């Protein structure tokens, strides 16, 4: 038997340094985030055309899926805490089930509404109810994925791993609008993207349940609420070393208030900036239909609307991956310059 080197730490097995999460498992986590973001942005690409076909005012279409976004904000922190108690894999499965159920019901409801079987009012109300499943339960998956990665990644590799997960969310905002026009199928029409992404979500769920092992965290980490799918913002580092005070035996981390003095300027900036971004995204599709004169042929508007949303998402990724790292701006300077440039663009 080989002698034990007393200078070698017993708490860090060599395997952990080699690779915390195998590539196959990382691909599954990547797919969960990609499917969630792509499905949501594909929906945003076709909803202006669906609303026009139903003869519903634009504001009611925007409110119908804004309700889901509100539920996401409320429920995501709750599911983030549950992922620490019930396990990350269970919360991923719950989130994907919410995504699948919501998209199947939304697709069927809109299909029946476009076929004239449901009146426009009932179609809109049922659509909002079905979207509640996405905001209420679909929000369980992203924070669970983030915590899964953080709890199995050494601190030295954690930022890179979380950046990869964030890039999957951002990539989904590009893929969704690009694929949405191709998913407008002959029979179901504009409801096609909902049903196709529900199928993709079901495949992803089966892969997660079959290939992803149950939770056995190697490194302490807590799930955190993730941005909504149309944000694409990289997550903050959530993992902590075992030497951190918050991870002491019996210690519970303090719960931050919404207007914690240290965070107040950033909360206000994020709140106003997030609302501004959501408003622009909400009206962009309707603006394209108006400017191109496609109100009389809304089915033809899915392609141009998707192109506009995809261009914005690509610009966001280029800024996150290329421009921001090169400029090396601090948080305050980056926020002020970002606000100014966004204001000019708007």
CATH code, domain with 67: 1.20.1250.20
Residue 308 belongs to some domain of the structure: yes
Residue 104 belongs to some domain of the structure: yes
**Which residues have CB under 8 Å from 169's CB, separation 6+?**
33, 34, 36, 37, 142, 226, 227, 229, 231, 232
Size (the chain), residues: 346
**What is the domain count for the chain?**
1
Residue 236 belongs to some domain of the structure: no
Please tell me the predicted confidence (pLDDT) of residue 234: 44
**Using CA atoms, how far apart are residues 195 and 218, in angstroms rounded to an integer?**
38
CA max distance for the chain: 81
| Of the candidate ranges 6-20, 139-153, 184-198, 207-221, the one whose mean pLDDT is the lowest | 6-20
Residue 323 belongs to some domain of the structure: yes
Residue 8 belongs to some domain of the structure: no
**Using CA atoms, how far apart are residues 17 and 41, in angstroms rounded to an integer?**
37
* 221-248 tens-digit pLDDT: 555 555 555 444 444 444 444 334 344 4
**Predicted TM-score of the model (pTM):** 0.77
Report the pLDDT averaged over residues 39-44: 91
Residue of 233, 169, 184 whose CA lies nearest to 41: 169
Residue 79 belongs to some domain of the structure: yes
Mean pLDDT over the full length of the chain: 81
Residue 237 belongs to some domain of the structure: no
Parent domain of 35: 21-230+261-345
**Which residues have CB under 8 Å from 98's CB, separation 6+?**
133, 134, 136, 137, 138, 139, 140, 141
């Amino acid at each position: 038997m080989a002698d034990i080197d007393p200078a070698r730490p017993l708490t860090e097995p060599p395997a952990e340094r080699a690779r915390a999460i195998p590539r196959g498992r990382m691909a599954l986590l990547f797919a969960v985030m990609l499917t969630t973001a792509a499905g949501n942005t594909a929906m945003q690409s076709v909803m202006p055309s669906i609303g026009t076909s139903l003869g519903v005012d634009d504001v009611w279409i925007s409110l119908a899926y804004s309700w889901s976004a509100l539920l996401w904000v409320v429920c995501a922190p709750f599911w983030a805490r549950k992922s620490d108690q019930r396990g990350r894999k269970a919360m991923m499965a719950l989130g994907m089930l919410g995504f699948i159920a919501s998209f199947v019901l939304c697709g069927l409801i809109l299909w029946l509404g476009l076929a004239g079987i449901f009146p426009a009012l009932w179609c809109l109300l049922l659509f909002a109810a079905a979207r509640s499943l996405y905001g209420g339960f679909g929000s369980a998956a992203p924070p669970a994925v983030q915590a899964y990665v953080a709890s199995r990644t050494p601190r030295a590799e954690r930022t890179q791993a979380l950046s990869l997960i964030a890039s999957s969310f951002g990539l989904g905002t590009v893929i969704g609008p690009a694929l949405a026009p191709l998913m407008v199928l002959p029979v179901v029409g504009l409801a096609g993207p909902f049903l196709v992404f529900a199928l993709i979500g079901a495949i992803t769920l089966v892969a997660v349940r079959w290939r992803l092992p149950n939770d056995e965290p190697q490194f302490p980490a807590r799930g955190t609420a993730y941005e909504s799918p149309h944000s694409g913002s990289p997550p903050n580092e959530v993992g902590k070393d075992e030497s951190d005070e918050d991870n002491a035996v019996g210690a519970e981390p303090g719960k931050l208030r919404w207007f914690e003095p240290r965070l107040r300027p950033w909360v206000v900036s994020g709140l106003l900036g997030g609302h501004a971004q959501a408003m622009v995204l909400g009206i962009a599709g309707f603006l394209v239909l108006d400017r191109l004169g496609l109100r009389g042929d809304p089915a033809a508007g899915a392609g141009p609307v998707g192109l506009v949303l995809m261009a914005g998402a690509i610009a966001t990724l280029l800024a996150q991956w290329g421009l921001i790292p090169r400029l090396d701006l601090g948080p305050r300077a980056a926020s002020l310059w970002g606000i100014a440039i966004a204001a000019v663009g708007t």
